[in-house]
Amino acid sequence: MIVSFRGVRKTYDGETLVVKSLDLDIHRGEFLTLLGPSGSGKTTCLMMLAGFEFPTGGEIRLDGELLNNVPPHKRNIGMVFQNYALFPHLTVEQNVAYPLTVRKLPAAERAERVAHALKMVQMERFAKRYPAQLSGGQQQRIALARALVFEPKLVLMDEPLGALDKQLREHMQYELKALHEKLGVTFVYVTHDQGEALTMSDRVAVFDKGIVQQLDTVDRLYESPCNEFVANFIGDSNRLRGTIARVDGEFCEFRLDDGTQLVGRRIGDAAEGAPAVACIRPERMSLAAHDANGHANGAAANRLSGEARSLIYFGDHVRMRCALPGQDECFVKVPLGTGALDAFSPGAPVALAFAPEHLRVFA
């Protein structure tokens, strides 16, 4: 463990807590992402760790040292901002050297470290250029090199890819992940983009209303969300409203408003008769054989009858939009080449099948 938050609280107006009693451990060498919607408290946590904000209560420690009142320049932490914050009047190598200059390192050592940092981000040949002569992706690399050049204990990133176009942003995600694996430095990354979080992170802390809703590895976060907010914020989910009809250990029978009975994994302590919301991923549903009225054939544990509305083309798959009785619209991820797509007709009956272990019931 390299960083610990213990009971950390933050308020800007003396009344409303934007961070509420945060307990969080950051492991040495990991890539941790703080993920959440705007106003969830994730950026405030990063800024408190960087030293640009100070906690109202609680403790933040770096390698056991209390940071609460330590100024940013004495924390040995690298920082990459969304706008990169490069000095326009300095060349690339001068920008990268700046943290070493203020630390008064000898010129020879500065030159050696700058050359090494530029090589890490593959920007050696741009050393004499100015920021205005670089693309957005190149500026992002320079900002990262500057954050790494003084060999910090950890590197903080505040939505550094937000200003890039989609294709470059995705490319930089892979580059950041590869660089992290190569260097082994602890990265703490803030974003509201779930795709970025899932692509790059070892673990993700999902924030909402100043609280960490779930802290987990990316696969467990996606496959085993602990509550309805996480299920809906991470990836896509179809929501079904109903009542818990019967509890059977970790599973339960879930009755929809139209009387349809489903079986799902019960999350929480809800008892029989409690209203609940169930979530199922679009890729976990499949089109099933059905009769002329849309009633599913076969004996699969979970089957729903509905009506096809439209197809949405995603390139590598198609999403079918379906209407279910008394429920919100439902989306099903259908592989290209599926025979049912050829026979698609708006308004036609459809039957959807899915396994009980993929339906998570939150009460």
Q: Is the pLDDT of residue 271 over 70?
A: yes
Average pLDDT across the chain, whole number: 92
Q: What is the mean pLDDT of residues 210-226?
A: 96
Out of 3.30.420.40, 2.40.50.140, 1.10.760.10, 3.30.420.270, select the CATH number for domain 237-362. 2.40.50.140
Q: How confident is residue 297, by pLDDT bands cut at 50, 70 and 90?
A: low
- Give the tokens for residue 43: 């950026």
Neighbour-count burial of 236, counting CB atoms closer than 10 A to its CB (0-12 exposed, 13-18 middle, 19+ buried): middle
Q: What is the mean pLDDT of residues 54-73?
A: 95
Residue 154 pairs with which residues in a beta bridge? 77, 186
Tens of pLDDT along 18-39?
999 999 999 999 999 999 999 9
CATH 2.40.50.140 range(s) for the chain read 237-362
- CATH code of 3-229, in short, is 3.40.50.300
State the pLDDT at residue 137: 86
Q: What percent of the chain has pLDDT over 70?
A: 97
Q: Give 95's Cβ-side CA count (13 Å radius).
A: 28
Residue 120 or residue 331, greater confidence: 331
pLDDT tens digits for 229-266? 999 999 999 999 999 999 999 999 999 989 999 999 99
Q: pLDDT tier at 164 (50, 70, 90 boundaries)? A: confident
CA distance 157 to 161: 9
Please report which residue ranges of 265-342 form alpha helices under DSSP H. 339-342
pLDDT in tens, 317-352: 999 999 999 999 999 999 887 777 777 889 899 999
Question: Which residue ranges does the chain devote to CATH 3.40.50.300?
Answer: 3-229
| Secondary structure class of 244 (helix, strand, coil) | strand
